Each structure stands twice: as C-alpha cells, then as structure tokens.
Amino acid sequence: MSMDRRHFFKTGGMALAGFGLAGCGPKKVIQTAPTRQAVPAFAPRPAIDLTPPRITWDRVIRTTIGLRPHRDSGFVLKGMKFDDKTVIHDYGFGGAGMSLAWGCGAMAADMALEQGDRRAAVLGCGSPGLTAARQLQRRGFAVTIYTLAVPPYTTSNMSSAGFTPTAGLVSAEQRTPAWDAQFRQAAEISYRQLQLLAGAPGYGVYWIDNYNATDDPTLPVGGGPDGDLVPEHLRTGRDREVLGPGEHPFPTKYAIRTQALAIEPSIYLDALVRDFLLFGGKIVIRKFDTPRDLMSLNEPVIINCTGLGSKTLFNDDELVPIRGQLTVCIPQPEVHYRASGRLLNSTINASINPRSDGLVIGNMQERGNWSLEPNEEVRQQNVSAAIAFFAAMRAPTGGVRLTRSAPVRATPSLESFYGEES
C-alpha cells in the first residue's frame, strides 16, 4: 500500500520524532488545561446532476383532457341483484383508478366467486375493467368485456398515471369505517401487484425519483389529509430525503426527493388487453342505456366498471367529473426523473412527468366541468411556467455521470404515496 510522502512527513514522520524525543532527557510532566475539540462542520453531499428537460413551444405535440369519475363518498364496491343477474359495482375512483384497480378488481372477483356459475361480463375497458377481468380469469372465470371504448381511447389513457391511491378519491367528511376498511385492503393488494409488474418487460411500470423543489424543507410530500387511511403497519415514513443548497440543480433552496411508482398508460393498458386476450377473454363493442339492457347478456355475473357512465346507466347522481388537462412535449429519454416546483415570483406550479410517449406537463383539477376541449389559458400557463422553471436549472457538470447522490433505499412505504395526484 502506497502513502503520500507529504502526508507521511506531516503525520507518521512527526509522530516518530515525538516518540524519539519522549525517550531522551529528563522526564518532566507538564500540566496543561484540557483543550476543547472543535465540532467539524458537515460537508454537503456531492451534488446530483440531472439533465434539464428541453421544454419549448415547438416541442409541444398534444394536449389531452381526462374526466375523472369522482364521488364525495368514495368508490362503490358492492353487489346487488337485478332479476337473475348479479351486478357488482366497481367504479368511482376519481384520480386513483390506476392505483386501486387491481385491489378493487380482486375484491369484486371474490364477490363473484359466491355465485356458482363461472361466466362473467365486465362493463368497461379502462384500468378498473381490465384488472377486474384479469382477476376473474385468475379465479377460473370465462370473461367477456363489453365496452364503448378500448385503449388508447379510454379515460385511463388520459391520466398522468402513477401510484396515487388517494388522488381525488373521497371527501373526509363522507368516509365511513366500512369504506376505510375496503380502501385499505384494495390499496395493499394493488401496491403488491404493481410492485410485481415494476420492471417486468412490456408493462410500463417502474420506479422513478420524484423531486419537489421548494424553499421550505419541512414541506410535506405525500401524506395529506387522507394519510390516516394507510394501514397501520405500513406507516414507516422513511421515503423522504431533503437535499440542501448545492446538492441539487433546481432554482430553489431545497429539493425533497421521494421514490414514485410510475405507470405509462399507453404501454400498461395495451399489456392488460394483451394478457386478457391471451387468457381467452373476449371484447365486444356494445352500448347499454339502462340496467334492463343488461338482462340480454348470457353471463349471470356482471362487474360494472363504467366510471362516469354509471351516472346515467345506474342513476348515480353523486358522480361528478374532475377534469384534468395535460400537455405533452416530444419525448426526452435522458430525463429519467419527475420534478415539480415554482420560481419565486410565480404563482403557477411547474411539473414534468417523463414517459416514453412524451414529457407530460401540468395537472389540473376542475370539478364539474364535462368539456373535453382543452382550455387554452391553462395550456399557456402550464407550458410557460415549465419553460421558465426548468430553464433555470443548473446544467450538468461536464464529464460527470448523471446519478443519484445516495443509493436507493428500501421499497417506499404505502403511506408515502397518500396525497399524491395522478
């Protein structure tokens, strides 16, 4: 092992000289006052380098609108009889449909098992319908999906998408213990299922770093008013890392980093359709106007995943749309993180969500608006805010590998995703 020569003379050499002097001459003990050792200052961690997103107006390729099916009292998951048919409702997820679909689909399929016949119909071909159909197939059912729209033309295709199980889901005043129990069971099942798909080829589900750029290091990320919904044994609260000045490239004092479970709708929903068909499922394009129309189906069990369609089909007057608007720029594969924040003099939050089909900007929450036409004022605000904020990012250091400043920790707790929007 080699040693720096100057370091040797400063440390080892002087130590040897001191040893020699101590062994010669008269022994004299000198009393000295104890010195107080200075507490060393903690050096900042190495700065992370992230590729800034290239957001310009000439890179904008589309703006999409999605109407989330919201109920103040939360989703509906229950069965009822219509003549000789059993209808199991599985709808009303707000912005949490992609997050809770596997869990609610499993619970709906378990209800269907109580019937002797193993033929089932599913109404709807978005995330709730497809996952319910797959859960039925896993339990031995022959399944047919009846729908007006298939991917890429479903409401689920219009979502920003990720594991956000409380997004636009329920009013705190309307919650009941029974509904809370259903939610917790659905969230746990869904979280496990999506973890199994994360990284699997062809599903578009993966882990990604999420940065919330802020001047307030105590700003809560996740949690939110519905944080108590999380199962008790999963409340670890470990998924949060505050990066200080000089440790991140954003134009704010701090950046709070968490891990997010991302879902790419165009890949994910096509994969679910593929799996459903491979396991013998059938898809029929058909419209139903009243519950009486369902009596013509051969299947004795019907899973209703029609979302906002249940407002007219089953007269659910509590359903209301939560309108979302997303603007998409040309894909930028080297941007492999999510980020949000705002400049000091701005009132508009800027955000990016990178996907293989484009850089997604914005996330509007507008209650009661049924229009599918983009709001040009909102589009201008979202894109302009993103251009200004991300243009102020520090450029990567030349020759430095783009990486994290710390290794990925354990799988984030379920609690950490509560309060996130999708």
* DSSP label at residue 307: G
For residue 243, is it within any domain? yes
* Cβ–Cβ < 8 Å for 65, 324: yes
Is 195 a domain residue?
yes
User: Which tens digit of pLDDT belongs to each residue from 31-41?
Assistant: 544 444 444 44
For residues 315 and 158, what is the distance between their CA atoms, to the nearest angstrom?
25
Cβ-in-10-Å burial (0-12, 13-18, 19+) of 139 comes to middle
Domain extent at residue 267: 57-417
In angstroms, the CA 172 to CA 226 distance is 7
pLDDT in tens, 347-385: 899 999 999 999 999 877 899 999 999 999 999 999 999
Instruction: Answer whether residue 196 is part of any domain.
Output: yes
Residue 148 falls inside a structural domain: yes
Residue 293 in any domain: the answer is yes
Do 138 and 109 meet the contact criterion of CB atoms below 8 Å apart?
yes
pLDDT confidence bin for 99, thresholds 50/70/90: very high
Q: Is residue 18 part of a domain?
A: no
Model confidence, pTM: 0.82
Asked if residue 208 lies in contact with residue 352, where contact means CB atoms within 8 angstroms, the answer is: no
Q: Per-residue pLDDT tens for 306-350?
A: 999 999 999 999 999 999 999 999 999 999 999 999 998 888 999
Work out the burial of residue 354: count CB atoms within 10 Å of its CB; fewer than 13 is exposed, 13-18 middle, 19 or more buried: buried
How would DSSP label each residue in 362-397?
A: ----EET----S--HHHHHHHHHHHHHHHHTSPPPP
Is residue 43 a part of any domain in this protein? no
Mean of pLDDT over the chain: 85
Residue 146 clears pLDDT 90, i.e. is over it: yes
Output the domain CATH number for residue 285: 3.40.50.720
Residue 385 falls within a domain, yes or no? yes
* Count of the separate structural domains present in the chain: 1
Q: Rg of the chain over CA atoms, in angstroms?
A: 28
What confidence score (pLDDT) does residue 52 get? 96
